Copies of this chain bind each other. A is one copy, B any other.
Amino acid sequence: MYSVIVRGHMMIAHSFKGEVFGPAQRLHGATFVVDVEFRRPDLDADGIVIDIGRATEALTGILGGMNYRNLDEQPAFAGRNTTSEYLARVVFDRLVEAINRDEMGPGAAAVETIRVTLHESHVAAAAYEGAIPGHASR
């Protein structure tokens, strides 16, 4: 299995609901350094997994929709705790949508799985990894 991994980041405010979060129930924030790994079993004719330039642009666009914002005020997240693991899934879902809209070039259609990792500090991270829904080979 071949992979290409690209990195981006976003700086957001949010708060959590639930006793388990302790002081993180207060409004605070985070820098998320985001690594996205695209995987497919074979390389294309150019010898690549995906157009890394377009993949980076797509990631930048997705993170740009949350960057410098208070996620508590985003309608898309109403009633949800925007934990790192949940946001990893959000980025995954939006990447799948971008692939389905053909925004990452023809090679992206051959990507079978994606892993999104959000590093929230030097001692904590979260990830979501999954197959691309509807992909023929799975």
Contact = CB atoms under 8 A, between A and B. Distances in A.
Most chain B beta-carbon contacts within 10 A, residue among A51, A117, A120, A126: A126
A11 B33 contact: no
Nearest to A54: B20
Interface in A41-57: 43, 46-49, 51-53, 56
Contact of A20 (B5, B6, B46, B129): B46
Q: What is the total number of copies of this protein in its complex? A: 6
Interface in A1-24: 1-9, 11-14, 16, 18, 20-24
Given A1-B129, A81-B46, A86-B47, A120 B23 contact: no
Contacts of A70: 13, 26-28
Contacts of A8: 123
A83 B11 contact: no
Contact of A11 (B22, B30, B67, B69): B30
B31 A1 contact: no
Contacts of A20: 46, 48, 51, 53, 105
A49 B12 contact: no
